[in-house]
Amino acid sequence: MTDSAETSTLHGARAELLAAAARGDEWTPRFPQSGSVQHPASVLILFGRLDSIPARTDDQTVAADLDVLLQRRAATLSSHPGQVSFPGGGREPADTDVVATALREAQEETGLDPAGVEVLASLPEIPLAVSSFLVTPVLGWWRTPSRVAAVDHAETVEVFRMPVARLLDPANRYTSVLHRDGFTYKAPAFEVDGTVVWGFTAGILNALFDATGWALPWDPAVERPVTV
């Protein structure tokens, strides 16, 4: 894992991610909680350069040069069915730590080669009541991108690299509104060419974009209902 102190001398998107991770306790989002048992889990938030971007040094790489690895979960799953998510899942006995869980799950779900991933940081744990998981987001820099695709279609139906610039576009941002069990939940969301990112994944991206300084002004008054 890279020492975040180097961000004092480096510039560019990677350094901005490191600086944000060093302040993770300040901005990592909280979600509705319950008293249910929390099972440890990890997700991999993996940023890499777009294939169309010429070779650049890390300090020359800006947010608009990047994409982030996402997947669409199978509609038949009991937890977060059909949602766009980061690769990830529950910890297994053989996993040595939260990073091992994130990399193993990402490899199993997307086929990526973990050797090409530079782990920047592990963010604070996030309790997620809807699935009874205690989730650790692991922030990664995809130094050597590998081919990715859905490995097990019973769990993942699609794997894709979403350009960060499309997520940052104010025209693709809005507030999702979910009515459930007599309560109304409102939270940041994204929609890019029909692909909707909401819930836990959108909450993490929204907070991270704010923390890195990448976010552009958008209108939270634009609301759309969540269809589940």
3-state helix/strand/coil string of 89-143: EECCCCCCCHHHHHHHHHHHHHCCCHHHEEEEEECCCEEECCCCEEEEEEEEEEC
Determine the pLDDT at residue 203: 96
pLDDT by residue for the chain (228 residues), tens digit each?
Answer: 544 444 445 589 999 999 999 999 999 998 766 666 678 999 999 999 999 988 888 899 999 999 999 999 876 555 556 789 999 999 999 999 999 999 999 999 999 999 999 999 999 999 887 777 899 999 999 999 999 999 987 788 999 999 999 999 999 999 999 887 788 889 999 999 999 999 999 999 999 999 999 999 999 999 999 876
- The Cα 54–Cα 75 span in angstroms is 37
Determine the pLDDT at residue 5: 45
Name the amino acid, one letter, at 225: P
Could you give the angle at the alpha carbon of 186 between the alpha carbons of 200 and 180, nearest 5°? 85
- The Cα 55–Cα 35 span in angstroms is 49
Q: Contact at 8 Å (CB) between 205 and 68?
A: yes
- The Cα 1–Cα 20 span in angstroms is 15
Q: Tell me which residue has tokens 């979403």.
A: 162
Burial class (CB in 10 A: 0-12, 13-18, 19+), 76: exposed
- CATH class as words, domain 4-167: alpha beta
- The Cα 177–Cα 38 span in angstroms is 25
Dihedral angle over CA of 215, 218, 222, 228, nearest 10: -10
Q: What is the DSSP letter of 187?
A: E
Determine the pLDDT at residue 23: 97
Determine the pLDDT at residue 7: 42
Determine the pLDDT at residue 33: 64
How distant is the alpha carbon of residue 68 from its chain centre? 7
Q: Contact at 8 Å (CB) between 75 and 81?
A: yes
